[in-house]
Amino acid sequence: MKLLFSCIILLVSILLELFSGSWGFALVVSAYVIFYLCRLYSVGIGFLAAMLAGFAMDAAYGREESIMPLVLLAPLAVAYYFRKEPFYGALETAMPGMLIGLMSSLLAFVCSFDEDYLQLIFSLIFNAAAGCVMMPVLVLALDAFLNMLNLRGITSPLLAKLTPFSSHLDRYKANESR
């Protein structure tokens, strides 16, 4: 069931990314899902998901050179950096979302050998802003979906609590009692 959950959310993210690409803008939805899978399971599972999603998107776009697996290494790096950091609220995932957007844009620019720096600046700003919004929304939605499915073996969702203010209050009280 966990494998089915992971495959479904990865497939939906690939389809959303392909749909946004057909409209002319790059939304790296699969990168955010890969970050979620890395935090939920492990970085190794995230690496496997990144390679599968990257090769699937390159095949769908008909590219001869595979650049998407390299671009999807960005959420792995961010997940590895934040691997010990617990998230107590959805807003705390905005920073990793912004980093994933920035790193994915930079890697896509470097891998495509493009020299349009104005497009790079627009892409950096757009993907950073989109990451700040999309990552918390995606985490809340996937955690709610995970709780609705009541999967065994997954003890807790990515967020420790869904109310950011109460979690900060709990941390303040814990630090105050020391």
pLDDT digits over 17-42, tens only? Answer: 889 888 877 788 999 999 999 888 88
The domain spans of the chain are 2-176
Span 108-123, pLDDT tens digits? 888 777 777 888 888 8
3-state secondary structure the chain: CHHHHHHHHHHHHHHHHHHHHHCCCCCCHHHHHHHHHHHHCCHHHHHHHHHHHHHHHHHHHCCCCCCHHHHCHHHHHHHHHCCCCCECCHHHHHHHHHHHHHHHHHHHHHHHCCCCHHHHHHHHHHHHHHHHHHHHHHHHHHHHHHHHHCCCCCCCCCECCCCHHHHHHHHHHHHHCC
Mean pLDDT, residues 35-52: 90
Q: Please determine, for residue 10, whether its predicted confidence score (pLDDT) is greater than 90.
A: yes
Does the predicted model carry a pTM greater than 0.85? Answer: no
Mean pLDDT, residues 98-106: 89
Q: Please determine, for residue 48, whether its predicted confidence score (pLDDT) is greater than 90.
A: yes
Third-level CATH fold of 2-176: Arp2/3 complex 21 kDa subunit ARPC3 (1.10.1760)
Supply the mean pLDDT for the chain: 81
